[in-house]
A and B are shown apart, each in its own frame.
Chain A
Amino acid sequence: MIAVEVKNLVKNYGSIEAVKGISFNVNEGEIFGLIGPNGAGKTTVLRVVSTLLKINSGSVKILNYDMEKEADKIRKIISYLPEDAGAYKNLTGRAYLQFIANFFDPKQKEQMVQKGIEIAELGERIDDRVDTYSKGMMRRLLVGRALMINPKLAILDEPTSGLDVINAQEIRKLIKNTAKKGTTVLLSSHNMLEVEYLCERIALISDGRILEEGEPKTLMDKYKANNIEEVFMRVVQK
């Protein structure tokens, strides 16, 4: 089953064309990566899929729910992690997770919070105020927040942004495990190695257009490249 269906998506900011007719599908349970340089349109696509932005033309469907008509239903089954997201600074990590869990099934609230705490791995610091957290701790809390609700679709914008190597690797493992349990993951990243490790399929975006799409290995073979970074350079130069 297709989890995300994007057809001819166009998104403009005034006179600026951020996304110029993008189409792609993400299968259920798959980890799909959007790769591209800064300003390519990755974040815009993720913001559209997460119901934050209205589209100018085209269509977006999440598990058969139409983005424009059924955004409320979509919000119940997705979880979005913005690249530079923060949390409410006056709350403790635990209180923040509880605040988020309150929006979902009350019967599963405690379970969700517990899962969030486990993912965040903050130990006793989970009961400290968020404004005392380091960047890495904050990111782990936010990843915990995004994945604790067992979303059908997790939209992760640069999930390991700002994390050190150890923390980044833990998060990547976590994302892989989440997908194995049935969650579809749509993510963006600058880190080509990360994408190669995580994603089953990728789309290379540049200047608001998808230039190439497929499995990382297939693309490396097609472009006779040693890694995705080389693939990307060859695709852009083509």
Chain B
Amino acid sequence: MSGLGNIIKKELKELLTPATFVPIIIVALIFGTMGGSIQGIQEQAKEKPIIGVINMDNGKLSYITTNILNTSTQVIFNSSYISDKQNGVDALKQKNGVALIIIPENFTKQILNGQQGQIEIYWIMKGSGLMDIISSSIFQSLIAYINTNISEELIQANSSINASFVLNPTQKIETTYLKDREFKGLSPDAIASMLSSQSILIPIVIMMIIIMAGSIVITSMALEKENKTLETLLTLPVNRTSIVTGKIVAAAIIGLLLSVIYMAGMSFYFQGLGMSSGTNIAQYGLTPTFQDYIIIGISLFVTLIAGLALCMLIGTFAKSYKSAQTLTFPITMLALIPMFITMFADYDTLPFALKIFTFAIPFSHPMIAPRALIFHDYITVIGGIVYVLIFAIITISIVVWIFKTDRLLVGSTRMKKLKGQLSKFKKF
């Protein structure tokens, strides 16, 4: 074999390890899943929005409006009586409807008299994530289209009409129903925008805390092995639980310190982008209360401990600083997945399987908690805290058990057996 061939063979042998391929395979799977989700969104965007219409006006302009609605949407509820409003809202809630449109009886007359015609829109919002406003956004553009059609009709009938009025002949009066709460004067877009600072900032900060503190723990374990300090530590008169707890607590403190610095930077960044929460959130009761903040804090603390225990468990497999860098990958992925999910979707409106998957990831819970608490969903949040606490206790117990066995120093004997058997097999 030539020198070049020999070098290539050696390099390939060194590089063709599970540590090289597993992360890439996971990334490929995640991108595949994300692609599937985007396809789902595109399909959702193509579907006609489901609406209900109460038309109390017999004029020409309401005819234009209902005609557009009948062509471009799926109207499942039709009435000409305002008393049917609640029935309409209920029917739409049952059939995943987007909105109930009410055209008042003097709609055409008002517009023809040079006054804006009012269109009452009762939005049905299932969740507060960005994905949950796709249908309502489609319908918003339809309302704009109706406006344009009425404008055209008015210009054709009277070319000397007031320009500023003709460009805006209708006025929307919006009310949004979201999780049994009524928001008068707010559209789904406005609510989603109000909650965006929470849905973006909090998951990013939590993800950063977990990744930073997690890598500290994994690296610390790897350095103990690489610097050969672990053997000495394990022969000192200190119990294994104290070693494990000490490492986790120290990493948690550093993680929290780093996150405070990070959070300060991020909040300035979002303020710069105009994405800060503003004052309107509090006015509409869309901010967590003091009690909610305490629950979020507990959720974050328990999650941090669970996350660090998991990192400690992973860290026991690290042999060197280099291998520790690879081992932080699963933690990064476990923090990124719920971050993206909670940034773009509402946990409540996720498909069942995705809901279970998200719940199973311990890092999801402090990301889910703020929005869930705003809508008084204490069961999800408290359930999440209990789950993460159990997860943390089990993981810490496993880590302490590993510290009490030989595995930390000599690795898994099962793996050694398997390797031994494989080498015997190769000889044949």
Contacts and interface: CB of A to CB of B under 8 A. Distances in A.
Contacts of B236: 75, 100, 103
Interface stretch (B196-204, B227-235, B327-335, B365-373): B227-235
Interface of A: 12-16, 47, 50-54, 72, 75-76, 78-82, 84-89, 100, 103-104, 145
B410 A13 contact: yes
A205 B280 CA distance: 79
B235 A15 contact: no
B243 to A, nearest CB: 11
8 A-B pairs with the lowest CB-CB distances in the bound complex, closest first: A14-B416, A14-B413, A86-B227, A86-B228, A80-B235, A14-B417, A75-B237, A76-B237
A75 B231 CA distance: 12
B264 interface: no
Interface string B222-259: 00000111011011111100000000000000000000
B420 A82 contact: no
B420 A53 contact: no
B110 interface: no
A115 B239 CA distance: 25
Contact of A51 (B235, B414, B420, B421): B235
Interface of B: 227-229, 231-232, 234-239, 405-406, 409-410, 413-417, 420-421
A16 B235 CA distance: 24
Given A14-B413, A14-B420, A53-B406, A75 B228 contact: no
A89 B406 CA distance: 25
A103 B405 CA distance: 21
Contacts of B417: 14-15
Contacts of B231: 47, 52, 80, 82, 85
B148 to A, nearest CB: 68
B227 A53 contact: no
Contact of B235 (A12, A14, A75, A89): A75
Contacts of A16: 416, 420
Given A16-B420, A54-B406, A76-B237, 5 more contacts: A14-B415, A14-B416, A16-B416, A80-B232, A82-B231
Contacts of A50: 235
A72 B239 contact: yes
Given A14-B417, A53-B409, A54-B405, A103 B235 contact: no
Given A53-B409, A87-B227, A88-B227, A103 B238 contact: yes
Contacts of B235: 50-52, 75, 78-80
B294 to A, nearest CB: 35
Nearest to A44: B410
Contacts of B234: 51-52
Nearest to A75: B237
Nearest to A55: B406
A88 B229 contact: yes
The interface centre, meaning the residue of A13, A76, A79, A87 with most chain B CB atoms within 10 A of its CB, is A13
Contacts of A80: 231-232, 235
A63 to B, nearest CB: 14
20 contacts: A12-B413, A13-B416, A15-B416, A16-B416, A52-B231, A53-B409, A53-B410, A54-B405, A72-B237, A76-B237, A78-B235, A80-B232, A82-B232, A84-B228, A85-B229, A86-B229, A87-B227, A100-B232, A103-B238, A145-B232
A16 B421 CA distance: 11
A85 B414 contact: no
A14 B406 contact: no
A51 B231 CA distance: 10
Contacts of B416: 13-16
A89 B227 contact: yes
A82 B410 CA distance: 14
Nearest to B409: A52
Contacts of A78: 235
Contacts of A54: 405-406
The interface centre, meaning the residue of B405, B410, B413, B416 with most chain A CB atoms within 10 A of its CB, is B410
Nearest to B424: A15
A108 to B, nearest CB: 13
A14 B414 contact: yes
Nearest to B406: A53
A170 to B, nearest CB: 21
Nearest to B417: A14
Given A13-B416, A14-B417, A85 B237 contact: no
A51 B404 CA distance: 10
Contacts of A81: 232
Contacts of B406: 52-54
